[in-house]
Structure 1
Amino acid sequence: MSTLTKDQLQELKSALLEQRDNLQRHFESNMEDGVPTQSLKDSTGELSSYDNHPADAGTETFERSRDLAVDDTLTDEFNQVIDALERMEKGTYGTCVTCGQDIPFERLQAIPYTAYCIDDTPNRELSNDRPVEEQVMTMPPSGAGEVRQRNAGKFDHAEAWEAVEDYGTSHSPATAAKREVRDYDENM
Protein backbone atom coordinates (compact mmCIF):
# COMPACT_ATOMS: atom_id res chain seq x y z
CA MET A 1 0.00 0.00 0.00
CA SER A 2 1.30 3.40 -0.97
CA THR A 3 1.91 6.19 1.51
CA LEU A 4 0.19 8.78 -0.71
CA THR A 5 -2.40 10.98 0.99
CA LYS A 6 -5.95 11.28 -0.32
CA ASP A 7 -5.21 14.77 -1.64
CA GLN A 8 -2.13 13.51 -3.46
CA LEU A 9 -4.07 10.58 -4.92
CA GLN A 10 -6.83 12.93 -6.05
CA GLU A 11 -4.32 15.27 -7.71
CA LEU A 12 -2.68 12.37 -9.53
CA LYS A 13 -6.01 10.83 -10.54
CA SER A 14 -7.12 14.18 -11.99
CA ALA A 15 -3.86 14.40 -13.95
CA LEU A 16 -4.30 10.84 -15.26
CA LEU A 17 -7.93 11.43 -16.27
CA GLU A 18 -7.00 14.65 -18.06
CA GLN A 19 -4.15 12.91 -19.86
CA ARG A 20 -6.44 10.02 -20.85
CA ASP A 21 -9.08 12.43 -22.21
CA ASN A 22 -6.47 14.39 -24.20
CA LEU A 23 -5.12 11.20 -25.73
CA GLN A 24 -8.61 9.95 -26.56
CA ARG A 25 -9.41 13.24 -28.31
CA HIS A 26 -6.19 12.95 -30.29
CA PHE A 27 -7.06 9.45 -31.48
CA GLU A 28 -10.69 10.29 -32.22
CA SER A 29 -9.70 13.22 -34.42
CA ASN A 30 -6.86 11.51 -36.28
CA MET A 31 -7.61 7.81 -36.40
CA GLU A 32 -10.45 5.42 -37.11
CA ASP A 33 -9.95 1.80 -36.07
CA GLY A 34 -6.21 2.36 -35.80
CA VAL A 35 -5.98 3.70 -39.35
CA PRO A 36 -5.48 7.35 -40.31
CA THR A 37 -8.79 8.92 -41.30
CA GLN A 38 -7.35 10.68 -44.35
CA SER A 39 -5.67 9.09 -47.31
CA LEU A 40 -2.36 10.49 -48.44
CA LYS A 41 -4.18 12.20 -51.33
CA ASP A 42 -6.70 13.81 -48.95
CA SER A 43 -4.09 14.93 -46.45
CA THR A 44 -2.00 16.65 -49.12
CA GLY A 45 -4.98 18.48 -50.64
CA GLU A 46 -3.90 17.44 -54.12
CA LEU A 47 -6.42 16.44 -56.79
CA SER A 48 -4.28 13.47 -57.63
CA SER A 49 -1.58 11.53 -55.87
CA TYR A 50 0.27 11.53 -59.20
CA ASP A 51 2.31 14.67 -59.07
CA ASN A 52 4.80 16.60 -61.14
CA HIS A 53 7.10 16.80 -58.13
CA PRO A 54 8.11 13.37 -56.80
CA ALA A 55 9.87 15.03 -53.87
CA ASP A 56 6.49 16.31 -52.64
CA ALA A 57 5.19 12.76 -52.45
CA GLY A 58 8.36 11.72 -50.63
CA THR A 59 7.91 14.52 -48.12
CA GLU A 60 4.29 13.57 -47.54
CA THR A 61 5.23 9.92 -47.11
CA PHE A 62 7.87 10.89 -44.57
CA GLU A 63 5.39 13.10 -42.70
CA ARG A 64 2.83 10.28 -42.65
CA SER A 65 5.36 7.77 -41.31
CA ARG A 66 6.43 10.27 -38.65
CA ASP A 67 2.80 10.78 -37.63
CA LEU A 68 2.32 7.01 -37.37
CA ALA A 69 5.41 6.73 -35.15
CA VAL A 70 4.07 9.50 -32.90
CA ASP A 71 0.72 7.70 -32.75
CA ASP A 72 2.48 4.48 -31.72
CA THR A 73 4.20 6.33 -28.89
CA LEU A 74 0.95 7.97 -27.80
CA THR A 75 -0.84 4.59 -27.91
CA ASP A 76 1.78 3.18 -25.57
CA GLU A 77 1.35 6.18 -23.26
CA PHE A 78 -2.45 5.80 -23.37
CA ASN A 79 -2.16 2.13 -22.35
CA GLN A 80 0.11 3.09 -19.46
CA VAL A 81 -2.41 5.72 -18.29
CA ILE A 82 -5.21 3.12 -18.38
CA ASP A 83 -3.02 0.68 -16.42
CA ALA A 84 -2.26 3.38 -13.84
CA LEU A 85 -5.97 4.11 -13.37
CA GLU A 86 -6.60 0.37 -12.91
CA ARG A 87 -3.81 0.19 -10.31
CA MET A 88 -5.45 3.13 -8.57
CA GLU A 89 -8.75 1.21 -8.42
CA LYS A 90 -6.98 -1.89 -7.06
CA GLY A 91 -5.10 0.16 -4.46
CA THR A 92 -1.66 -0.73 -5.82
CA TYR A 93 -0.96 2.65 -7.42
CA GLY A 94 2.17 4.37 -6.17
CA THR A 95 4.15 1.21 -5.50
CA CYS A 96 6.78 -0.17 -7.85
CA VAL A 97 5.59 -3.28 -9.70
CA THR A 98 9.11 -4.72 -9.60
CA CYS A 99 10.34 -4.20 -6.03
CA GLY A 100 7.15 -3.15 -4.21
CA GLN A 101 8.71 0.02 -2.76
CA ASP A 102 6.83 3.31 -2.71
CA ILE A 103 7.30 5.56 -5.73
CA PRO A 104 8.05 9.12 -4.55
CA PHE A 105 5.18 11.60 -5.01
CA GLU A 106 7.44 13.95 -6.99
CA ARG A 107 8.13 11.20 -9.54
CA LEU A 108 4.42 10.47 -9.82
CA GLN A 109 3.73 14.17 -10.37
CA ALA A 110 6.22 14.20 -13.24
CA ILE A 111 5.11 10.87 -14.74
CA PRO A 112 1.73 9.99 -13.21
CA TYR A 113 1.37 6.76 -15.21
CA THR A 114 4.72 5.26 -14.16
CA ALA A 115 4.66 1.83 -12.57
CA TYR A 116 8.33 1.82 -11.58
CA CYS A 117 10.61 3.51 -9.09
CA ILE A 118 13.70 5.14 -10.57
CA ASP A 119 15.97 2.17 -9.81
CA ASP A 120 13.70 -0.39 -11.51
CA THR A 121 12.73 1.64 -14.57
CA PRO A 122 13.24 -0.56 -17.62
CA ASN A 123 16.21 0.53 -19.72
CA ARG A 124 15.21 2.46 -22.78
CA GLU A 125 18.68 2.64 -24.22
CA LEU A 126 19.20 3.21 -27.88
CA SER A 127 20.38 0.28 -29.89
CA ASN A 128 24.12 -0.18 -30.14
CA ASP A 129 23.76 -1.40 -33.71
CA ARG A 130 26.12 0.52 -35.92
CA PRO A 131 25.40 1.25 -39.58
CA VAL A 132 26.33 -1.60 -41.89
CA GLU A 133 28.48 0.79 -43.92
CA GLU A 134 30.99 0.92 -41.09
CA GLN A 135 31.85 -2.73 -41.69
CA VAL A 136 33.22 -1.99 -45.17
CA MET A 137 34.73 1.44 -44.60
CA THR A 138 38.48 1.73 -44.27
CA MET A 139 40.24 4.21 -42.07
CA PRO A 140 41.86 7.14 -43.86
CA PRO A 141 45.65 6.93 -44.17
CA SER A 142 47.61 8.38 -41.32
CA GLY A 143 48.26 12.06 -41.75
CA ALA A 144 45.25 12.59 -44.01
CA GLY A 145 44.16 16.21 -43.88
CA GLU A 146 47.22 17.43 -41.98
CA VAL A 147 48.57 19.47 -44.92
CA ARG A 148 45.18 21.05 -45.46
CA GLN A 149 45.00 22.01 -41.79
CA ARG A 150 48.57 23.34 -41.78
CA ASN A 151 47.86 25.54 -44.82
CA ALA A 152 44.44 26.67 -43.71
CA GLY A 153 43.81 30.33 -44.54
CA LYS A 154 46.94 30.74 -46.69
CA PHE A 155 45.20 30.63 -50.08
CA ASP A 156 43.28 33.87 -50.54
CA HIS A 157 40.94 34.77 -53.38
CA ALA A 158 43.50 36.72 -55.42
CA GLU A 159 46.00 33.88 -55.35
CA ALA A 160 43.24 31.42 -56.20
CA TRP A 161 42.45 33.24 -59.45
CA GLU A 162 46.11 33.42 -60.41
CA ALA A 163 46.55 29.70 -59.82
CA VAL A 164 43.49 28.81 -61.84
CA GLU A 165 44.34 31.29 -64.62
CA ASP A 166 47.62 29.45 -65.24
CA TYR A 167 45.58 26.48 -66.47
CA GLY A 168 43.68 28.68 -68.89
CA THR A 169 40.34 30.42 -69.03
CA SER A 170 37.19 29.92 -71.00
CA HIS A 171 38.63 32.23 -73.67
CA SER A 172 40.27 30.29 -76.45
CA PRO A 173 41.82 31.35 -79.73
CA ALA A 174 38.63 30.17 -81.44
CA THR A 175 36.48 32.64 -79.50
CA ALA A 176 38.95 35.53 -79.51
CA ALA A 177 37.71 38.98 -80.48
CA LYS A 178 40.92 39.57 -82.39
CA ARG A 179 41.44 37.77 -85.66
CA GLU A 180 44.36 35.48 -86.29
CA VAL A 181 45.05 34.65 -82.62
CA ARG A 182 47.28 31.60 -82.30
CA ASP A 183 48.15 31.60 -78.59
CA TYR A 184 46.03 31.72 -75.46
CA ASP A 185 48.13 34.58 -74.08
CA GLU A 186 47.40 36.73 -77.18
CA ASN A 187 43.67 36.49 -76.51
CA MET A 188 43.69 39.08 -73.79
Structure 2
Amino acid sequence: MSTLTQEQRKELQQALLEQREDLQRHFESSMEDGAPAESLKDSTGELSSYDNHPADAGTETFERSRDLAIDDTLTEEFNQVNEALERMDEGRYGTCVTCGKEIPFERLQAIPYTAYCIDDTPSRDVSNDRPVEEEVMTMPPSGAGEVRQRNAGKFDHAEAWEAVEDYGTSNSPAMAAKRDVKDYDENM
Protein backbone atom coordinates (compact mmCIF):
# COMPACT_ATOMS: atom_id res chain seq x y z
CA MET A 1 0.00 0.00 0.00
CA SER A 2 1.31 3.40 -0.97
CA THR A 3 1.79 6.14 1.61
CA LEU A 4 0.66 8.87 -0.75
CA THR A 5 -1.60 11.43 0.88
CA GLN A 6 -5.10 11.96 -0.45
CA GLU A 7 -4.01 15.34 -1.86
CA GLN A 8 -1.01 13.79 -3.64
CA ARG A 9 -3.16 11.00 -5.10
CA LYS A 10 -5.66 13.56 -6.35
CA GLU A 11 -2.89 15.66 -7.95
CA LEU A 12 -1.42 12.60 -9.68
CA GLN A 13 -4.83 11.35 -10.80
CA GLN A 14 -5.59 14.76 -12.30
CA ALA A 15 -2.24 14.73 -14.13
CA LEU A 16 -2.98 11.25 -15.52
CA LEU A 17 -6.47 12.24 -16.65
CA GLU A 18 -5.12 15.36 -18.38
CA GLN A 19 -2.39 13.34 -20.07
CA ARG A 20 -4.93 10.75 -21.26
CA GLU A 21 -7.16 13.52 -22.60
CA ASP A 22 -4.24 15.10 -24.49
CA LEU A 23 -3.34 11.76 -26.04
CA GLN A 24 -6.95 11.10 -27.01
CA ARG A 25 -7.09 14.52 -28.71
CA HIS A 26 -3.94 13.64 -30.65
CA PHE A 27 -5.43 10.39 -31.91
CA GLU A 28 -8.77 12.01 -32.71
CA SER A 29 -7.11 14.78 -34.72
CA SER A 30 -5.01 12.27 -36.64
CA MET A 31 -8.17 10.29 -37.44
CA GLU A 32 -9.86 13.46 -38.73
CA ASP A 33 -7.08 13.65 -41.32
CA GLY A 34 -8.07 10.13 -42.30
CA ALA A 35 -7.22 6.71 -41.03
CA PRO A 36 -3.61 5.70 -41.48
CA ALA A 37 -3.23 4.89 -45.14
CA GLU A 38 -2.36 1.38 -46.20
CA SER A 39 0.23 2.43 -48.76
CA LEU A 40 2.49 5.38 -49.45
CA LYS A 41 0.41 6.14 -52.55
CA ASP A 42 -2.73 6.37 -50.41
CA SER A 43 -1.04 8.54 -47.79
CA THR A 44 0.26 11.06 -50.31
CA GLY A 45 -2.97 11.26 -52.29
CA GLU A 46 -1.02 11.14 -55.55
CA LEU A 47 -2.59 9.27 -58.45
CA SER A 48 0.83 8.42 -59.79
CA SER A 49 4.36 8.83 -58.53
CA TYR A 50 5.73 8.65 -62.05
CA ASP A 51 6.20 12.41 -62.42
CA ASN A 52 7.69 12.92 -58.96
CA HIS A 53 11.39 13.21 -58.25
CA PRO A 54 12.75 10.20 -56.31
CA ALA A 55 13.73 12.53 -53.48
CA ASP A 56 10.05 13.45 -53.06
CA ALA A 57 9.22 9.79 -52.52
CA GLY A 58 12.10 9.54 -50.06
CA THR A 59 10.83 12.54 -48.14
CA GLU A 60 7.30 11.12 -48.04
CA THR A 61 8.62 7.76 -46.86
CA PHE A 62 10.64 9.42 -44.11
CA GLU A 63 7.71 11.59 -43.00
CA ARG A 64 5.37 8.62 -42.94
CA SER A 65 7.75 6.41 -40.96
CA ARG A 66 8.36 9.24 -38.50
CA ASP A 67 4.62 9.75 -38.00
CA LEU A 68 4.10 6.02 -37.48
CA ALA A 69 6.93 5.90 -34.93
CA ILE A 70 5.45 8.86 -33.05
CA ASP A 71 2.03 7.20 -33.04
CA ASP A 72 3.55 3.96 -31.74
CA THR A 73 5.27 5.83 -28.92
CA LEU A 74 2.13 7.77 -28.02
CA THR A 75 0.03 4.59 -28.13
CA GLU A 76 2.42 2.95 -25.67
CA GLU A 77 2.23 6.03 -23.42
CA PHE A 78 -1.58 6.02 -23.66
CA ASN A 79 -1.63 2.35 -22.58
CA GLN A 80 0.69 3.11 -19.66
CA VAL A 81 -1.53 6.00 -18.53
CA ASN A 82 -4.60 3.73 -18.61
CA GLU A 83 -2.73 1.02 -16.68
CA ALA A 84 -1.69 3.61 -14.07
CA LEU A 85 -5.31 4.70 -13.66
CA GLU A 86 -6.31 1.04 -13.24
CA ARG A 87 -3.61 0.55 -10.59
CA MET A 88 -4.93 3.68 -8.87
CA ASP A 89 -8.48 2.23 -8.81
CA GLU A 90 -7.17 -1.09 -7.47
CA GLY A 91 -5.04 0.59 -4.79
CA ARG A 92 -1.73 -0.60 -6.26
CA TYR A 93 -0.63 2.81 -7.61
CA GLY A 94 2.63 4.20 -6.27
CA THR A 95 4.35 0.89 -5.61
CA CYS A 96 6.89 -0.74 -7.94
CA VAL A 97 5.43 -3.70 -9.84
CA THR A 98 8.81 -5.47 -9.72
CA CYS A 99 10.04 -5.13 -6.15
CA GLY A 100 6.97 -3.76 -4.36
CA LYS A 101 8.82 -0.75 -2.90
CA GLU A 102 7.13 2.61 -2.76
CA ILE A 103 7.80 4.94 -5.71
CA PRO A 104 8.78 8.41 -4.46
CA PHE A 105 6.18 11.14 -4.97
CA GLU A 106 8.70 13.29 -6.87
CA ARG A 107 9.20 10.48 -9.41
CA LEU A 108 5.45 10.08 -9.79
CA GLN A 109 5.14 13.84 -10.37
CA ALA A 110 7.71 13.62 -13.15
CA ILE A 111 6.31 10.42 -14.71
CA PRO A 112 2.82 9.86 -13.32
CA TYR A 113 2.23 6.66 -15.29
CA THR A 114 5.41 4.90 -14.17
CA ALA A 115 5.04 1.46 -12.64
CA TYR A 116 8.67 1.13 -11.57
CA CYS A 117 11.02 2.57 -9.00
CA ILE A 118 14.28 3.98 -10.35
CA ASP A 119 16.24 0.79 -9.61
CA ASP A 120 13.83 -1.50 -11.49
CA THR A 121 13.09 0.71 -14.49
CA PRO A 122 13.48 -1.39 -17.66
CA SER A 123 16.43 -0.44 -19.81
CA ARG A 124 15.63 1.68 -22.84
CA ASP A 125 19.08 1.40 -24.37
CA VAL A 126 19.45 1.31 -28.11
CA SER A 127 20.13 -2.22 -29.23
CA ASN A 128 23.74 -3.09 -29.87
CA ASP A 129 22.72 -5.88 -32.22
CA ARG A 130 24.58 -5.75 -35.50
CA PRO A 131 22.92 -6.25 -38.90
CA VAL A 132 22.62 -9.87 -39.98
CA GLU A 133 24.51 -9.05 -43.20
CA GLU A 134 27.70 -8.58 -41.22
CA GLU A 135 27.75 -12.30 -40.49
CA VAL A 136 28.41 -13.12 -44.15
CA MET A 137 30.66 -10.19 -45.03
CA THR A 138 34.35 -10.84 -45.45
CA MET A 139 37.17 -8.43 -44.77
CA PRO A 140 38.91 -6.97 -47.83
CA PRO A 141 42.24 -8.59 -48.68
CA SER A 142 45.22 -7.16 -46.87
CA GLY A 143 46.75 -4.25 -48.72
CA ALA A 144 43.53 -3.37 -50.54
CA GLY A 145 43.58 0.28 -51.46
CA GLU A 146 47.19 0.86 -50.42
CA VAL A 147 48.38 1.72 -53.97
CA ARG A 148 45.48 4.11 -54.43
CA GLN A 149 46.32 5.80 -51.14
CA ARG A 150 50.02 6.01 -52.02
CA ASN A 151 49.24 7.61 -55.39
CA ALA A 152 46.46 9.87 -54.15
CA GLY A 153 46.62 13.30 -55.73
CA LYS A 154 49.49 12.52 -58.12
CA PHE A 155 47.46 12.94 -61.31
CA ASP A 156 46.67 16.56 -60.54
CA HIS A 157 49.62 18.17 -62.31
CA ALA A 158 50.22 20.64 -65.12
CA GLU A 159 49.43 18.17 -67.92
CA ALA A 160 46.10 17.13 -66.44
CA TRP A 161 44.15 19.32 -68.86
CA GLU A 162 45.97 17.91 -71.86
CA ALA A 163 45.16 14.36 -70.72
CA VAL A 164 41.49 15.17 -70.39
CA GLU A 165 41.44 17.25 -73.59
CA ASP A 166 42.18 14.13 -75.66
CA TYR A 167 38.64 13.03 -74.90
CA GLY A 168 37.13 16.23 -76.30
CA THR A 169 35.22 19.00 -74.61
CA SER A 170 31.60 19.86 -74.12
CA ASN A 171 32.03 23.00 -76.22
CA SER A 172 30.24 22.83 -79.54
CA PRO A 173 31.01 24.97 -82.58
CA ALA A 174 28.00 27.09 -81.57
CA MET A 175 29.71 27.94 -78.28
CA ALA A 176 33.02 29.00 -79.86
CA ALA A 177 34.47 32.41 -79.12
CA LYS A 178 35.54 32.72 -82.77
CA ARG A 179 33.03 33.34 -85.55
CA ASP A 180 32.06 30.83 -88.22
CA VAL A 181 33.58 27.76 -86.57
CA LYS A 182 32.53 24.62 -88.45
CA ASP A 183 34.53 21.97 -86.64
CA TYR A 184 34.95 20.94 -83.01
CA ASP A 185 38.73 21.05 -83.38
CA GLU A 186 38.59 24.69 -84.57
CA ASN A 187 36.72 25.61 -81.43
CA MET A 188 39.89 25.74 -79.36
1:100–1:136 Cα change, 3 Å: same
Partner of 2:52: 53
Contact conserved, 2:81 with 2:113, CA < 8 A, in 1? yes
* Inter-CA distance 164–125: structure 2 relative to 1 (3 Å threshold): same
Distance 1:73 1:115, change over 3 A: same
Cα contact 1:30–1:37 (8 A) shared by 2: no
Q: Is the 8 A contact 2:19 2:81 kept in 1?
A: yes
* CA–CA separation in structure 2 for the residues paired with 1:91 and 1:163: 85
The count of residues paired between Structure 1 and Structure 2 equals 171
Q: Using structure 1 for the length normalisation, give the TM-score.
A: 0.70
2-structure distance, mates of 1:36, 1:11 = 35
Deviation string for 1:37-70 (max 9, x for gaps)? 89866753x5x42131163344324422332222
- The 1:107–1:145 alpha-carbon spacing in structure 2 relative to 1, beyond 3 Å, is farther
Q: Is the 8 A contact 2:37 2:43 kept in 1?
A: no
**Which amino acid in structure 2 is aligned with residue 53 of structure 1?**
N
Cα distance change on mapping 1:43 and 1:135 into 2, 3 Å: closer
Partner residue of 1:21? 21
Runs of 4+ in 1 over 6 A off after TM superposition: 143-152
2:186 alignment partner AA: A
- Deviation, 1:35, is 3.9
- Residues 171 and 135 of structure 1, relative CA distance in 2, 3 Å threshold: closer
C-alpha contact (below 8 Å) 1:16/1:113 kept by paired residues: yes
**RMSD, aligned CA:** 3.6
What's the CA shift for 1:128? 3.4
Residues 168 and 113 of structure 1: CA distance in aligned 2, closer, same or farther (over 3 Å): closer
Q: Is the 8 A contact 1:103 1:117 kept in 2?
A: yes
* Contact 1:20–1:78 (Cα < 8 Å) also in 2: yes
Match of 1:164 among 160, 165, 171: 160
Q: In structure 2, what is the equivalent of residue 176 of structure 1?
A: 185
- Secondary structure at 2:120 match in 1: coil
Shift in alpha-carbon separation, 1:141–1:37, aligned structure 2, 3 A = closer
